[in-house]
Amino acid sequence: MLKIRKYAAIDIGSNAIRLLISTVTKPENKPVTFKKTSLVRVPIRLGQDVFVNQYISDNNISRMKDALKAFQLLMDCHNIERYRACATSAMRDAKNAKSLIESIKKETAIDIEVIDGDDEAAIIAATDLHELIYSDKNYVYVDVGGGSTEITIYSNGKTLNSRSFKIGTVRLLNNLVTQDDWEQMISWLKIHTKGLQKIEMIGSGGNINHIFKASGKKLGNPLSYFYLSSYYQLLQSLTYEERISQLQMNVDRADVIIPATEIYLTAMKHSRSRSIHVPKIGLSDGIIKSLYNEDVSMAS
């Protein structure tokens, strides 16, 4: 008998808010499949407010509520069984986050959970990341967001270490990342990759996904350090307007892509990674997988 379930994930990030709706099918005696039915992204840059002024502005509160009301309607239309809404770096730091969450709950019935960096890394690890990780290789997984970067080190198929750093694209755009922040990340990478050989990187986030798509490579083939470095030089050679017109970037992508690429290149350099895999997974995918795993666990 074919079992079909529908789940939704809401990712409230520092650069955008996303709704992912997935259909999970489980044919009898066959592996379960996860299909992305719908993905909606709204570029509400909460981090621009919070990292500079510590509060989410009235304008972005209004936009956020409108987006979440629309998400609620979409979830109803798709007959979603379960959902989970997770907020990351910007909402962690916003001084008006608590009152905003209560207000959103009243107006939309959506219950928002603010997660820390460790939770974020753990949820992402619940994705099909293990399918990329071979037991005889070493990997550095880097997820770059608007407010923070989550890094996890895998060796022999197991997690060695994981840490969240307050280095994100929106923070960098606003000159809110110090040299000490960079040195902490670099030092941590050097210490925890010391002695590891043949290290490869796995990257996630909208910016590395965009770069991978622009490369024309087929899914499963990694990008080289040389390619990423060359693309970074191309980005820097173009103005913001030229990146939109010539590289066909969205207006909210054309500015953050440069600091994002800088983060990936820095992580690659100091972990001695020569290539980066881009599986196009992220927090939303991890939320869907964790919801399904919870249901399976409760049913067993």
- pLDDT at residue 128 is higher than 70: no
Q: Please state the three-class secondary structure of 85-146 as a single string.
A: EEECHHHHHCCCHHHHHHHHHHHHCCCEEECCHHHHHHHHHCCHHHHCCCCCCEEEEEEECC
- pLDDT at residue 87 is higher than 80: yes
- Name which of 81, 87, 141 is nearest 117 in CA terms: 87
In this prediction the pTM is: 0.91
Average pLDDT over residues 26-42: 90
* Residue 151 contacts residue 204 (beta carbons within 8 Å): no
Residue with the bigger pLDDT between 26 and 37: it is 37
Phi-psi region of 76 (alpha: psi -120 to 50; beta: other; left: phi over 0): alpha
Residue type, 241: E
Confidence of residue 130 (pLDDT cuts 50, 70, 90): low
Domain residue ranges of the chain, discontinuous segments joined by +:
3-117+284-299, 131-281
Q: What is the DSSP letter of 217?
A: P
Mean pLDDT of the chain: 93
State the CATH class of domain 131-281: alpha beta
* Edge-to-edge strands, sheet with 82-87: 33-42, 17-26, 3-12, 82-87, 112-114
Q: pLDDT (tens digit, 9 = 90+) per residue, 152-201?
A: 999 987 889 989 999 999 999 999 999 999 999 999 999 999 999 999 99
- pLDDT at residue 131 is higher than 70: no
Q: CA torsion sign, 205 to 78 to 101 to 9?
A: negative
Into which CATH architecture does domain 3-117+284-299 fall? Answer: 2-Layer Sandwich (3.30)
